Amino acid sequence: VSAWVVEKLYESWRQTFLATKTFFEARTDHQHLVIFENPQFGRVMVLDDVIQVTTGDEFVYHEMLTHVPMLAHGNATEVLVVGGGDGGILREVLKHKQVTKAVLVEIDQGVVDMSIEHMPSVSAGAYDDKRVEVVIQDGVEYMAEDGQKFDLIIIDSTDPAGPGEVLFTESFYKNCAKRLKPGGIFTCQNGVPFMQGDELTDTQHRRKPHFKDAAFYVAAVPTYVGGFMALGWATQDPSYRKLGADVIRKRYDANPFPTRYWTPDLHVASFALPRYVQELMEK
Ligand code: SAM
């Protein structure tokens, strides 16, 4: 039987999906997890009443959070993903042949297991890749340890409510800066600024003391409704953000891989921000 599933993210505005079949619904150790089928978006994963991934549009988010820093860096070999239990970021990271190690730190084993079982196209075998190491732990604890450093740190978190809240604190950003190798880049999901403006302003203030270059870039993800989504960008090297499409294209052509959203031109264009987003950064 079909049912309407309502996303409860905002006080006064809600997105609704027709669920034609429910594959899984349970409380994991950390969150309420539901996976259902929608005729338009395919399999949809919901955590604590908030849409996380759909098999129909996940490519936008996963490609942009991964390939922009990968291509800007040019030679990232060791990558850390925090959150991202669905495996979509890992799948995109592994498209880069020079990557020798990808560590995923996810708080909720249930998300990993249910994604592999019910949304296998998202991880697409990433969890079987020898380069991947999975750590089931709170990302905040992991980052506070004096451990290995990475070329790239990608935060694929839930929104700043529930278990994901700690991934938006200043002390977390400070520890991320410490766990980057020289020339390393940090990216994170930062919500939809038209709807979650404070989140963008707060992130900017909390990162700024710890990175020479703290910025955002944007992507249009259909199920993160409300206009562009903001992706956070932070590094000690401001030159990465100024690389032209010719440089990015040359790097890509030397080692091409399939994409559906990311292109060298779009890579460069995604750093151009609407004025209302610039204003939120400066608030
Ligand atoms: N791409 C989607 C999005 O942007 O919403 C999916 C995000 S992914 C499913 C978010 C993951 O972050 C979840 O699997 C959740 O369990 C994990 N997570 C939340 N808080 C965490 C924490 N403190 N440490 C590690 N992982 C965390």
**Whether pLDDT at 16 is above 90:** yes
pLDDT of residue 270: 98
Return the residue whose CA atom lies nearest to atom 5 of ligand 1: 52
pLDDT of residue 60: 98
Cβ(183)–Cβ(150) under 8 Å? no
Active-site residue, 156 included: yes
Lowest mean pLDDT among 27-31, 42-46, 180-184, 186-190: 27-31
Catalytic residue (one of 57, 108, 156, 202): 156
Q: In the predicted model, is pLDDT for residue 211 greater than 90?
A: yes
pLDDT digits (tens, 9 = 90+) for 139-161: 999 999 999 999 999 999 998 88
Tens digits of residue pLDDT in 262-281: 999 999 999 999 999 999 99
Q: Indicate which atom in ligand 1 lies nearest the CA of residue 45.
A: 9
The structure's pTM equals 0.96
Q: Whose CA is nearest to atom 15 of ligand 1?
A: 83
Ligand 1 atom with minimal separation from the 164 CA: 20
Flag whether pLDDT at 48 surpasses 90: yes
| Residues at CB less than 6 angstroms from ligand 1 | 52-53, 61, 82-86, 105-108, 111, 138-140, 156-158, 163-164, 166-167, 189
pLDDT at position 132: 98
Whole-number average pLDDT of the chain:
97
Check residue 228 and give its pLDDT.
Answer: 97
SS3 for the chain is CCEEEECCCCCCCCCEEEECEEEEEEECCCCEEEEEEECCCEEEEEECCEEEEECCCHHHHHHHHHHHHHHHHCCCCEEEEEECCCCHHHHHHCCCCCCCEEEEEECCHHHHHHHHHHCHHHHCCHHHCCCEEEEECCHHHHHHCCCCCEEEEEEECCCCCHHHHHHHCHHHHHHHHHCEEEEEEEEEECCCCCCCHHHHHHHHHHHHHHCCEEEEEEECCCCCCCCCEEEEEEECCHHHHHCCHHHHHHHHHHCCCCCCCCCHHHHHHCCCCCHHHHHHHHC
The ligand 1 atom at the shortest distance from the C-alpha of residue 61 is 1
Tens-place pLDDT, residues 212-228: 999 999 999 999 999 99
